[in-house]
Structure formats: structure tokens, C-alpha cells
């Protein structure tokens, strides 16, 4: 078999701990035997971030901007323990946060469905994709405690010096707390465009919800911007594709999502998306079966697994103990990136490879071969728990059979 050739490189971002181990194995077993991999490699292992004072993360994000498609391994976001463990000179920020800030994107998360792993909501036959607006609201807030007798006001100073004041609360009786949040029209517009583009790309309806009955200016602005972007730029395209844009209140959306069969994109404001993506991931069975892609308004894509570096498994691995870590989300990050590269460059072989790789993963699990996390929740009659590497080898055998 001739290896598939690529024309443009993929930005490959390596990471930490158990996911780094899986990364290497997946490349050796599943990718390099079939593809002449062209990649711009950035090593975001915590040691390398320390060596470069985190410049490597910024370089990696800029490379995605340049080449358009990236695939990222999970990375450690340092906390105090990690600073000590890795003798860091600083508590570096989350690489995902840094990359998101540079690419200004929307994160889409979708579960991978396989027979035998039944969602906790059994009517969810198709995946529900959460699109989370990754800018502003409480994640960039200003908040203060308010003492007894304090008076809190909003003050907006316009560019011409005009002052616009509004009472938040008079803490005459008792103290409390206040919070100021913001968002920008530009960011909301980018979010809306990313959602409509993703809906067209993946041929799914788009739902969007806010609480605009209560938040008549703030949430209302989100609703209005989505409606204008839809009417001006996407209505015809969506209608031609037979797709629906559906707006409702967030509480109504929650009720409808639970009763639905899945198969749509649910666009969420930042906080709603944070919460709902964990609910969706859990309800579908496992965080290790969740894919994640960051789509920027200028059309760049970064694929990753939704889970972390699986530290506990890594420490077992270092002690030479057998591990049974699920590599599915990492494999789907690669297949997603290679498919997108194939689409952008018109390389059918690459798109076909990506499809076959995903089919091989699903077939392996449906044949009853799975890692421990799935073994414990699978309802398959015949099932076997295998170790990290065996799972990848089993996928490799099926992939080979699909490709020759
Ligand atoms: P985690 O790596 O997602 O793992 C938490 C637990 O979930 C694991 O101990 C394991 O449970 C289970 N799990 C997650 N992924 C699995 C997989 N692929 N296969 C099998 N089981 C899996 O989260 P964490 O332990 O909170 O974080 C570890 C490190 O990851 C942290 O340093 C954090 O900063 C980083 N992190 C990175 C990203 C990212 O780069 N996108 C995201 C989140 C966290 P059992 O131990 O019960 O088997
Ligand atoms: Mg969350």
C-alpha cells in the first residue's frame, strides 16, 4: 500500500503525561503506517513551556493561524502542586486559554456514540454538540464585596465623556456582593458565525438560547446579533441545506434537549456552555468519548480530546503497571484534523483515511474490545477489557482491513 501524501502540514501540538504516551502510540500504530505525515511540531510538554517561558504555546497558536488546522494533545495546566513537581519558575496559564485567546474561537464538543454504551437519556440516539462561547461574561468579570451601607452603581463613561449611571443596589440594610460583566458585539458576532458555519459544515440544526426575558439588554443583545447574522448571512444557505435555526429561552431549551433525540448543535453562552458540556458528556457515558474542536472566525480549526492528561493512569504507567486508558477522543482529534486538512486541500485519500479510522475505532468497541472506563458502563453481552496499547493495536488491525 502506498502512503497517503499531504500538501499542507498539520500543526501538531504534543502534551503531557498519559495522553502524551497515547499520542506517540497512536502515531506509530495508526497514522504513520498509512500517511506521509507532514507536521509542524510544537512540544507543549510542561518542561518545554518552562524552557521557553511559555513562548512555545504562543508560537503553536500562531502556527495554527498560519496553516489553518491543528491537533492538540492534552496538557497540564499548572497549579501550586505542579509548580513544585516540575520546579517551574512561574505558574503558567492554561495553554488552551492562551490558544483560545489568540484564535478567538468557539469550542464545539460532541460525544462519540457506539452501540452498547447507552446514554443515561436513552432517547439521545444522535450526538448533541455543545457550542460554547469562549469569551467574556463571568469569566472576565469584576466583582467586589459590598459593606453594610454601601451603594453600588453602574457607571459607563462614553467616548465623549458623557456619564451614564444606574443603581445596582443600595446596601442600606445589609452588605453583600456585586459583579460587573461584559461582552462585545464583535465577539458575539464571531460566535454566531462560527455556529452557523459549523451547522452547515456538519449538516445539523442550530439551537440557541439565552434568558432574554429577564436580561432585556444583555442577553437580548446576544439574541439580536444571532438573528441579524442569520438573516443577513446564513438564512439562504441554511434553508438550501434543509437546516433550521431555532431560538428559545434557556430553560425551555433545557427541557427540549432532554426530550430530544439529539442530532443538533446547541449554542450556549459561556457559563451555560461550561455547565451543559459537563452534563452532556456525563449523560453520554464518558469524557473519554468527547471530541472538541476550536473554530475561529477566520476559519482555523484546532482539534483535541475533551479530557485531561489522565495523571493517575500515568503514574501507574511510570511504575510499570498495566494501564487501560481510553484513546478514542485523542484518535478522533487526529481524524478530525486530517479530514479537515483533506477537505481544505482536496485530498480525498486523507478524508477517506479519517473516515476509516473512525469506523475502525467504533467497530473495535462494538466488537466488545474496550478500555476499562467503557468496560464498566458497556451493556454489550460479550466484552473484554484491554490495556492501552492492545486497544490501539486492535483498532490498527481493523483500520488495516478497511484500507487495503
Ligand atoms: P483528567 O485527565 O480528564 O482525568 C480525570 C479522571 O477521568 C481520570 O483519573 C480517569 O478516571 C478519567 N479519565 C479521563 N480521561 C480518561 C481516558 N482517556 N481514559 C480513561 N479514563 C479517563 O482530569 P484531571 O485528572 O482533573 O486532570 C489531569 C491534568 O489534565 C491536570 O493537570 C489538568 O490541568 C489537565 N487538563 C488538561 C485539559 C486539556 O489539555 N484539554 C483538560 C482538562 C484537564 P479514573 O482515574 O477513575 O480511571
Ligand atoms: Mg465545566
Tens of pLDDT, residue by residue over 263-299, are 999 999 999 998 998 899 889 888 899 999 999 878 8
**To the nearest 10°, the Cα dihedral for 74, 120, 274, 41?**
20
Ligand 2 center–CA 20 separation, angstroms: 23
Measured distance CA(118)–CA(39) in Å, rounded: 37
Q: Are residues 301 and 360 in the same domain?
A: yes
3-class secondary structure, 143? strand
Distance 252 CA to ligand 2 centre (A): 21
In angstroms, rounded to a whole number, what is the distance separating the alpha carbons of residues 365 and 116?
Answer: 8
Q: Are residues 265 and 308 in the same domain?
A: no
> Does one domain contain both 124 and 240?
yes
Cα separation, 154 vs 156, whole angstroms? 7
- Atom number in ligand 1 closest to CA 292: 41
Which ligand 1 atom is the nearest neighbour of the CA of 73?
40
Based on the fold, state whether residues 152 and 79 are members of the same structural domain: no
Count of alpha carbons within 13 angstroms of residue 315, beta-carbon side: 3
Q: From the CB of residue 403, how many other CB atoms can be counted at a distance below 10 Å?
A: 16
What residues are in contact with ligand 1 under a 6 Å CB criterion? 74-77, 96, 287-288, 304, 307-312, 325-326, 373
Q: Contact at 8 Å (CB) between 10 and 70?
A: yes
**Which residue's CA is minimally distant from atom 27 of ligand 1?**
308
Burial bucket for residue 399 (CB in 10 Å: 0-12, 13-18, 19+): buried
pLDDT, position 298: 81
User: Which residue has a Cα nearest atom 34 of ligand 1?
Assistant: 77
Point out the domain boundary residue: 284, 313, 337: 284
Per-residue model confidence (pLDDT) at position 40 = 98
- DSSP labels, 21-59: HHHHHHIIIIITTTEE--EEEEE--HHHHHHTTTHHHHH
Tell which one of 21, 72, 310, 314 to mutate to probe ligand 1, the residue whose CB is within 8 A of the most ligand atoms: 310
The count of C-alpha atoms lying within 13 angstroms of the C-alpha of 183, restricted to the half-sphere facing its C-beta, is: 24
Q: Which atom of ligand 1 is least distant from the CA of 77?
A: 34
The domain total for the chain is 3
- C-alpha angle with apex 371: 126 to 367, nearest 5 degrees? 65
Grid coordinates representing 131 are: 457550542
| Nearest-angstrom CA–CA distance, 320 and 21 | 13
Which strand (E) or helix (H) includes residue 392?
helix 388-403
pLDDT at res. 134: 82
Tell me the ligand closest to 306's alpha carbon. 1
- Ligand 1 centre and the CA of 308: distance in Å? 4
Residues 219 and 265 in one domain: yes
Phi-psi region of 52 (alpha: psi -120 to 50; beta: other; left: phi over 0): alpha
For atom 8 of ligand 1, the residue with the nearest CA is 310
Ligand 1 geometric centre to CA of 369 (Å): 22
Kindly report the protein residue whose alpha carbon is nearest to atom 26 of ligand 1: 308
Q: What is the pLDDT of residue 368?
A: 97
Same domain, 372 and 400: yes
Helices (H), 112-260: 185-202, 218-229, 235-240, 250-259
State which of 284, 311, 330 marks the end of a domain.
284
C-alpha cell at 240: 438550501
Q: Which ligand is nearest to the CA of 376?
A: 1
Query: Looking at the structure, do residues 203 and 60 belong to the same domain, yes or no?
Result: no
pLDDT the model gives residue 101: 82
Residue with CA closest to ligand 1 atom 16: 288
DSSP 3-state of 364: helix
Q: Which residues contact 375 (CB under 8 A, 6 or more apart)?
A: 324, 383, 384, 385
Residues 105, 31: one domain?
Answer: yes
CA distance 33 to 223: 48
CA of 57 to the centre of ligand 2 (A): 22
**Residue 43 phi, psi dihedral angles, 5° rounding:** -100, 105
Pocket mutation for ligand 1, best pick of 309, 328, 387 (most atoms within 8 Å of C-beta): 309
- Alpha helices in 31-184, H assignment, sequence order: 46-51, 55-67, 80-85, 95-103
Count of residues in the chain: 404
List the residue whose alpha carbon is closest to atom 30 of ligand 1: 308
Distance 220 CA to ligand 2 centre (A): 24
CA of 296 from ligand 1 middle (Å) equals 25
CA dist 330 to 30, 76, 174, 305, Å? 12, 15, 51, 5
**Domain boundary, last residue among 223, 258, 284:** 284
CA triple 374-376-381, angle to 5 deg:
85
Burial class (CB in 10 A: 0-12, 13-18, 19+), 218: middle
Regarding whether 122 and 111 lie in a shared domain, the answer is: no
How much is the pTM? 0.90
CA of 276 to the centre of ligand 2 (A): 7
Residue nearest to atom 37 of ligand 1 (CA): 308
Helices (DSSP H) in 297-347: which residue ranges?
311-318, 328-345
Dist CA 359 CA 11 (whole Å): 24
278 alpha carbon to ligand 2 midpoint, in Å? 5
Q: Which residues of the chain have pLDDT under 50?
A: none
Residue 135 has what pLDDT? 85
Q: Which of 86, 307, 317 maximizes ligand 1 atoms within 8 Å of its Cβ, making it the mutation to test the pocket?
A: 307
**86 and 126 part of one domain:** no
Together in a domain, 146 and 208: no
Look up residue 123 and give its DSSP letter. T
Contact partners, residue 159, CB within 8 Å, separation at least 6 = none
> Domain limits at 246?
118-140+182-284
Q: Are 250 and 211 in contact (CB under 8 A)?
A: yes
Q: Are residues 299 and 206 in the same domain?
A: no
Residue 219: give its domain's CATH number.
Answer: 3.40.718.10
Amino acid at each position: 500500500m502506498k502512503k497517503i501524501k499531504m500538501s499542507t502540514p498539520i500543526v501538531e501540538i504534543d502534551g503531557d503525561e498519559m495522553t502524551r504516551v497515547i499520542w506517540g502510540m497512536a502515531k506509530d500504530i495508526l497514522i504513520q503506517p498509512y500517511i506521509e505525515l507532514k507536521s509542524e511540531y510544537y512540544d507543549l510538554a510542561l518542561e518545554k513551556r518552562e524552557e521557553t517561558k511559555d513562548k512555545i504555546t504562543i508560537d503553536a497558536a500562531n502556527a495554527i493561524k498560519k496553516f489553518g488546522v491543528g491537533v492538540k494533545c492534552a496538557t497540564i495546566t499548572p497549579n501550586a502542586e505542579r509548580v513544585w513537581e516540575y520546579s517551574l519558575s512561574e505558574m503558567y496559564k492554561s495553554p488552551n486559554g492562551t490558544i483560545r485567546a489568540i484564535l478567538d474561537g468557539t469550542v464545539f464538543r460532541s460525544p462519540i456514540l457506539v452501540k452498547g454504551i447507552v446514554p443515561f437519556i436513552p432517547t439521545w440516539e444522535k450526538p448533541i454538540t455543545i457550542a460554547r462561547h469562549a469569551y467574556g461574561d463571568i469569566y472576565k468579570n469584576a466583582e467586589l464585596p459590598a459593606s453594610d451601607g454601601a451603594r453600588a452603581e453602574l457607571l459607563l463613561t462614553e467616548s465623549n465623556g458623557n456619564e451614564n449611571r444606574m443603581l445596582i443596589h443600595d446596601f442600606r440594610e445589609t452588605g453583600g456582593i456585586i459583579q460587573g460583566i461584559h461582552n462585545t458585539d464583535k465577539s458575539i458576532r464571531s460566535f454566531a458565525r462560527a455556529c452557523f458555519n459549523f451547522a452547515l459544515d456538519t449538516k445539523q440544526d442550530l439551537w440557541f438560547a439565552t434568558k432574554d426575558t429577564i436580561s432585556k439588554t444583555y442577553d437580548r443583545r446576544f439574541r439580536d446579533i444571532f438573528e441579524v447574522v442569520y438573516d443577513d448571512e446564513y438564512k439562504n444557505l441554511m434553508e438550501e441545506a434543509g437546516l433550521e435555526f431555532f431560538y428559545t429561552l434557556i430553560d425551555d431549551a433545557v427541557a427540549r434537549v432532554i426530550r430530544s433525540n439529539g442530532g443538533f448543535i446547541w449554542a450556549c453562552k459561556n457559563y451555560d456552555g461550561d455547565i451543559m458540556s459537563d452534563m452532556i458528556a456525563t449523560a453520554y457515558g464518558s469524557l473519554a468519548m468527547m471530541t472538541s474542536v476550536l473554530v475561529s472566525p477566520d476559519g482555523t480549526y484546532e482539534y483535541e480530546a475533551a479530557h485531561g492528561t489522565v495523571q493517575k493512569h500515568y503514574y501507574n504507567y511510570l511504575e510499570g503497571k498495566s494501564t487501560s486508558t481510553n484513546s478514542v477522543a485523542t484518535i478522533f482529534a487526529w481524524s478530525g484534523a486530517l479530514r479537515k486538512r483533506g477537505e481544505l486541500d482536496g485530498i480525498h485519500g486523507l478524508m477517506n483515511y479519517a473516515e476509516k479510522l473512525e469506523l475502525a475505532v467504533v467497530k473495535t468497541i462494538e466488537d466488545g474490545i474496550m478500555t476499562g472506563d467503557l468496560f464498566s458502563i458497556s451493556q454489550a453481552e460479550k466484552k473484554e477489557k484491554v490495556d492501552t496499547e492492545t486497544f490501539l493495536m486492535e483498532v490498527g488491525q481493523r483500520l488495516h482491513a478497511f484500507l487495503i
